[in-house]
Amino acid sequence: MKSFFRMSYPYILWIGFFIVAPMLMILLYAVTRGGNNTLTFHFTLENFGRFVSDPDFIRVLLTSLRIALVTTVCCILIGYPAALFIANLSERKQTLMILLITLPMWINMLLKTYAWRGILMNYDDMSSEIKVFIGMVYDFLPYMIIQIHTAIAKLDRELLTASYDLGANRWQSFLKVTLPLSVPGIISGVTLVFLPAVSSFVIPKLLGGGNYVLIGTLIENYFLVAGDWNFGSAVSLIMALIILAAMYFTRKIDRGAEE
Protein backbone atom coordinates (compact mmCIF):
# COMPACT_ATOMS: atom_id res chain seq x y z
CA MET A 1 0.00 0.00 0.00
CA LYS A 2 2.79 2.35 0.95
CA SER A 3 4.51 1.58 -2.35
CA PHE A 4 1.59 3.14 -4.20
CA PHE A 5 3.30 6.50 -3.83
CA ARG A 6 5.55 5.46 -6.72
CA MET A 7 2.54 5.94 -8.97
CA SER A 8 3.06 9.68 -8.71
CA TYR A 9 6.52 9.51 -10.33
CA PRO A 10 5.39 9.77 -13.98
CA TYR A 11 3.41 12.87 -13.17
CA ILE A 12 6.28 14.42 -11.23
CA LEU A 13 8.40 14.01 -14.37
CA TRP A 14 5.59 15.44 -16.46
CA ILE A 15 5.15 18.60 -14.38
CA GLY A 16 8.91 19.09 -14.25
CA PHE A 17 9.05 19.14 -18.01
CA PHE A 18 5.73 20.73 -18.96
CA ILE A 19 4.99 23.10 -16.08
CA VAL A 20 8.17 24.01 -14.20
CA ALA A 21 10.51 24.19 -17.20
CA PRO A 22 8.20 26.51 -19.22
CA MET A 23 7.86 28.88 -16.26
CA LEU A 24 11.65 29.00 -15.93
CA MET A 25 11.94 29.68 -19.66
CA ILE A 26 9.68 32.72 -19.37
CA LEU A 27 11.82 33.98 -16.50
CA LEU A 28 15.01 33.33 -18.44
CA TYR A 29 13.79 35.07 -21.57
CA ALA A 30 12.53 38.03 -19.57
CA VAL A 31 15.91 38.77 -18.03
CA THR A 32 18.08 38.16 -21.09
CA ARG A 33 18.72 40.05 -24.27
CA GLY A 34 17.58 38.81 -27.68
CA GLY A 35 19.62 36.83 -30.14
CA ASN A 36 18.76 33.24 -30.75
CA ASN A 37 22.03 31.83 -29.50
CA THR A 38 20.83 30.10 -26.36
CA LEU A 39 24.32 29.20 -25.21
CA THR A 40 25.40 32.73 -24.31
CA PHE A 41 23.10 34.67 -22.07
CA HIS A 42 23.23 38.42 -21.73
CA PHE A 43 21.46 39.15 -18.51
CA THR A 44 19.70 42.47 -18.51
CA LEU A 45 16.76 44.28 -17.01
CA GLU A 46 16.21 46.45 -20.05
CA ASN A 47 13.08 44.55 -21.09
CA PHE A 48 11.41 45.71 -17.89
CA GLY A 49 12.89 49.20 -18.23
CA ARG A 50 11.48 49.48 -21.74
CA PHE A 51 7.99 48.66 -20.49
CA VAL A 52 8.05 50.97 -17.49
CA SER A 53 9.53 53.96 -19.33
CA ASP A 54 7.12 53.93 -22.25
CA PRO A 55 3.85 55.81 -21.56
CA ASP A 56 2.10 53.82 -24.30
CA PHE A 57 2.78 50.53 -22.53
CA ILE A 58 1.65 51.98 -19.22
CA ARG A 59 -1.54 53.15 -20.89
CA VAL A 60 -2.14 49.62 -22.21
CA LEU A 61 -1.65 48.22 -18.72
CA LEU A 62 -4.05 50.76 -17.20
CA THR A 63 -6.69 50.04 -19.86
CA SER A 64 -6.46 46.31 -19.10
CA LEU A 65 -6.80 46.93 -15.38
CA ARG A 66 -9.70 49.32 -15.88
CA ILE A 67 -11.62 46.90 -18.12
CA ALA A 68 -11.02 44.04 -15.68
CA LEU A 69 -12.10 46.22 -12.75
CA VAL A 70 -15.32 47.46 -14.38
CA THR A 71 -16.12 43.90 -15.48
CA THR A 72 -15.62 42.62 -11.93
CA VAL A 73 -17.74 45.37 -10.34
CA CYS A 74 -20.56 44.77 -12.86
CA CYS A 75 -20.41 41.03 -12.17
CA ILE A 76 -20.73 41.64 -8.43
CA LEU A 77 -23.57 44.15 -8.83
CA ILE A 78 -25.55 41.89 -11.15
CA GLY A 79 -24.46 38.59 -9.64
CA TYR A 80 -24.93 39.28 -5.94
CA PRO A 81 -28.71 39.80 -6.01
CA ALA A 82 -29.05 36.82 -8.32
CA ALA A 83 -27.05 34.59 -5.95
CA LEU A 84 -29.02 35.86 -2.97
CA PHE A 85 -32.40 35.26 -4.63
CA ILE A 86 -31.34 31.78 -5.76
CA ALA A 87 -30.31 30.91 -2.20
CA ASN A 88 -33.81 31.83 -1.04
CA LEU A 89 -35.48 29.35 -3.39
CA SER A 90 -36.51 25.82 -2.46
CA GLU A 91 -33.83 23.12 -2.65
CA ARG A 92 -35.14 21.73 -5.95
CA LYS A 93 -35.39 25.12 -7.63
CA GLN A 94 -31.89 25.99 -6.45
CA THR A 95 -30.44 22.90 -8.13
CA LEU A 96 -32.31 23.72 -11.31
CA MET A 97 -31.19 27.37 -11.30
CA ILE A 98 -27.57 26.42 -10.71
CA LEU A 99 -27.75 23.90 -13.55
CA LEU A 100 -29.26 26.56 -15.83
CA ILE A 101 -26.56 29.04 -14.92
CA THR A 102 -23.68 26.59 -15.30
CA LEU A 103 -24.86 25.06 -18.57
CA PRO A 104 -23.65 27.90 -20.82
CA MET A 105 -20.25 27.73 -19.11
CA TRP A 106 -19.69 24.46 -20.99
CA ILE A 107 -20.15 26.14 -24.35
CA ASN A 108 -17.12 27.40 -26.21
CA MET A 109 -16.30 30.98 -25.20
CA LEU A 110 -15.29 31.97 -28.72
CA LEU A 111 -18.64 30.83 -30.06
CA LYS A 112 -20.58 32.71 -27.37
CA THR A 113 -18.58 35.86 -28.06
CA TYR A 114 -19.16 35.38 -31.76
CA ALA A 115 -22.88 35.20 -31.06
CA TRP A 116 -22.68 38.56 -29.26
CA ARG A 117 -20.80 39.92 -32.23
CA GLY A 118 -23.76 38.95 -34.40
CA ILE A 119 -26.27 40.49 -32.01
CA LEU A 120 -24.31 43.69 -31.43
CA MET A 121 -23.74 44.18 -35.16
CA ASN A 122 -27.27 45.58 -35.16
CA TYR A 123 -26.26 48.40 -32.86
CA ASP A 124 -23.85 50.49 -34.83
CA ASP A 125 -24.10 53.50 -32.58
CA MET A 126 -23.22 51.59 -29.42
CA SER A 127 -19.67 52.41 -28.36
CA SER A 128 -17.21 49.57 -28.73
CA GLU A 129 -16.33 49.90 -25.04
CA ILE A 130 -19.91 49.02 -24.03
CA LYS A 131 -19.83 46.06 -26.40
CA VAL A 132 -16.63 44.81 -24.80
CA PHE A 133 -18.15 45.13 -21.33
CA ILE A 134 -21.27 43.24 -22.36
CA GLY A 135 -19.13 40.41 -23.73
CA MET A 136 -16.86 40.33 -20.68
CA VAL A 137 -19.65 40.49 -18.09
CA TYR A 138 -21.52 37.81 -20.04
CA ASP A 139 -18.55 35.50 -20.00
CA PHE A 140 -17.68 35.91 -16.31
CA LEU A 141 -21.08 36.43 -14.62
CA PRO A 142 -21.83 32.71 -14.02
CA TYR A 143 -18.56 32.26 -12.08
CA MET A 144 -19.44 35.16 -9.79
CA ILE A 145 -23.00 33.93 -9.19
CA ILE A 146 -21.85 30.38 -8.38
CA GLN A 147 -19.17 31.53 -5.93
CA ILE A 148 -21.44 33.96 -4.06
CA HIS A 149 -24.30 31.47 -4.05
CA THR A 150 -22.07 28.79 -2.52
CA ALA A 151 -21.10 31.20 0.28
CA ILE A 152 -24.68 32.28 0.99
CA ALA A 153 -26.07 28.74 0.80
CA LYS A 154 -23.57 27.65 3.47
CA LEU A 155 -24.85 30.33 5.84
CA ASP A 156 -26.51 29.16 8.99
CA ARG A 157 -30.19 30.14 8.64
CA GLU A 158 -30.48 30.31 12.42
CA LEU A 159 -28.31 33.43 12.36
CA LEU A 160 -30.96 35.26 10.37
CA THR A 161 -33.72 34.01 12.64
CA ALA A 162 -31.73 35.23 15.62
CA SER A 163 -31.24 38.58 13.99
CA TYR A 164 -35.01 38.92 13.36
CA ASP A 165 -35.73 37.86 16.92
CA LEU A 166 -33.43 40.59 18.16
CA GLY A 167 -35.52 43.14 16.30
CA ALA A 168 -33.55 43.72 13.13
CA ASN A 169 -35.59 44.17 9.98
CA ARG A 170 -34.83 42.37 6.72
CA TRP A 171 -32.57 45.10 5.41
CA GLN A 172 -30.60 45.38 8.65
CA SER A 173 -30.22 41.62 8.87
CA PHE A 174 -28.92 41.56 5.32
CA LEU A 175 -26.37 44.30 5.98
CA LYS A 176 -25.20 42.95 9.32
CA VAL A 177 -25.43 39.20 8.82
CA THR A 178 -25.73 37.94 5.25
CA LEU A 179 -23.48 40.45 3.51
CA PRO A 180 -20.43 40.22 5.82
CA LEU A 181 -20.64 36.44 5.92
CA SER A 182 -20.78 36.20 2.13
CA VAL A 183 -17.59 38.21 1.63
CA PRO A 184 -15.48 35.04 1.12
CA GLY A 185 -17.79 34.15 -1.77
CA ILE A 186 -17.32 37.58 -3.31
CA ILE A 187 -13.55 37.26 -2.89
CA SER A 188 -13.35 33.90 -4.64
CA GLY A 189 -15.66 35.31 -7.30
CA VAL A 190 -13.27 38.23 -7.75
CA THR A 191 -10.31 35.86 -8.17
CA LEU A 192 -12.25 33.96 -10.83
CA VAL A 193 -13.28 37.12 -12.67
CA PHE A 194 -10.71 39.86 -12.22
CA LEU A 195 -7.60 37.73 -12.70
CA PRO A 196 -8.55 36.13 -16.02
CA ALA A 197 -10.13 39.40 -17.16
CA VAL A 198 -6.81 41.25 -16.85
CA SER A 199 -5.17 38.95 -19.36
CA SER A 200 -8.09 38.51 -21.73
CA PHE A 201 -7.61 39.70 -25.27
CA VAL A 202 -10.09 37.64 -27.24
CA ILE A 203 -13.34 39.35 -26.24
CA PRO A 204 -11.94 42.89 -26.62
CA LYS A 205 -10.60 41.96 -30.04
CA LEU A 206 -13.79 40.32 -31.32
CA LEU A 207 -16.22 42.87 -29.89
CA GLY A 208 -14.18 46.05 -29.70
CA GLY A 209 -12.79 45.90 -33.19
CA GLY A 210 -9.19 47.03 -33.41
CA ASN A 211 -9.76 49.72 -30.79
CA TYR A 212 -8.32 47.89 -27.84
CA VAL A 213 -4.71 47.09 -27.27
CA LEU A 214 -4.66 45.27 -23.97
CA ILE A 215 -1.84 43.62 -22.13
CA GLY A 216 -2.88 40.25 -23.57
CA THR A 217 -2.87 41.72 -27.08
CA LEU A 218 0.59 43.09 -26.40
CA ILE A 219 1.91 39.67 -25.40
CA GLU A 220 0.21 38.09 -28.41
CA ASN A 221 1.82 40.62 -30.74
CA TYR A 222 5.31 40.32 -29.33
CA PHE A 223 5.22 36.53 -29.51
CA LEU A 224 3.36 35.84 -32.71
CA VAL A 225 3.93 38.95 -34.83
CA ALA A 226 7.07 40.74 -33.74
CA GLY A 227 8.85 37.60 -32.57
CA ASP A 228 10.46 39.44 -29.64
CA TRP A 229 10.16 36.70 -27.04
CA ASN A 230 12.36 38.47 -24.52
CA PHE A 231 10.17 41.54 -24.29
CA GLY A 232 7.00 39.44 -24.53
CA SER A 233 8.19 37.33 -21.59
CA ALA A 234 8.95 40.44 -19.56
CA VAL A 235 5.46 41.82 -20.22
CA SER A 236 3.84 38.56 -19.15
CA LEU A 237 5.97 38.47 -16.01
CA ILE A 238 4.87 42.01 -15.15
CA MET A 239 1.27 40.94 -15.67
CA ALA A 240 1.74 37.83 -13.55
CA LEU A 241 3.27 39.95 -10.77
CA ILE A 242 0.35 42.38 -10.81
CA ILE A 243 -2.07 39.46 -10.65
CA LEU A 244 -0.16 37.93 -7.75
CA ALA A 245 -0.23 41.25 -5.92
CA ALA A 246 -3.96 41.58 -6.55
CA MET A 247 -4.49 38.07 -5.20
CA TYR A 248 -2.42 38.86 -2.12
CA PHE A 249 -4.47 41.97 -1.39
CA THR A 250 -7.82 40.28 -1.91
CA ARG A 251 -6.74 37.52 0.48
CA LYS A 252 -5.76 40.18 2.98
CA ILE A 253 -9.16 41.85 2.65
CA ASP A 254 -10.73 38.43 3.09
CA ARG A 255 -8.84 37.89 6.32
CA GLY A 256 -9.67 41.41 7.49
CA ALA A 257 -13.34 40.69 6.91
CA GLU A 258 -13.19 37.49 8.93
CA GLU A 259 -11.82 39.22 12.00
Q: Which of residues 171-230 bind another protein (CB under 8 A)?
A: 195-196, 198-199, 201-202, 205-206, 216, 219-220, 223-224, 229
For the chain, the distance separating the N- and C-terminal CA atoms, rounded to the nearest angstrom, is: 43
- Of 22-30, 47-55, 152-160, 182-190, the window that binds another protein (rule: CB under 8 A) is 22-30
Q: Which is nearer to another protein, 236 or 259 (CB)?
A: 236
DSSP 35-76: -S-TTS--B-SHHHHHHHH-HHHHHHHHHHHHHHHHHHHHHH
Which one of residues 52, 58, 62, 100 is an interface residue with another protein (CB under 8 A)? 100
Q: Least separation, in Å, of the C-beta of 229 and another protein?
A: 6
Q: Which of 246, 238, 245, 243 is nearest to 53 (CA)?
A: 238
Q: Least separation, in Å, of the C-beta of 56 and another protein?
A: 20
Which one of residues 101, 146, 177, 193 is an interface residue with another protein (CB under 8 A)? 101
- Three-class SS state of 32: strand
Question: With binding defined as CB under 8 A, does residue 248 bind another protein?
Answer: no
* Number of shown-chain residues binding another protein (CB under 8 A): 77
Percent of the chain that is helix, strand, coil (3-state, to 5): 80, 0, 15
- Three-class SS state of 167: coil
Amino acid at 230: N
Which one of residues 103, 126, 162, 226 is an interface residue with another protein (CB under 8 A)? 103
Q: Which is nearer to another protein, 189 or 232 (CB)?
A: 232
Question: With binding defined as CB under 8 A, does residue 166 bind another protein?
Answer: no
Question: Cβ(158)–Cβ(173) under 8 Å?
Answer: no
Q: Which is nearer to another protein, 12 or 55 (CB)?
A: 12
Site string for another protein, 35-64 (x = CB under 8 A): ---x--------------------------
Residue partners of 220: CB distance under 8 A and separation at least 6: 201
Give the number of other CB atoms < 10 A from CB of residue 158.
Answer: 9
Q: Which is nearer to another protein, 185 or 232 (CB)?
A: 232
Which one of residues 45, 52, 115, 130 is an interface residue with another protein (CB under 8 A)? 115
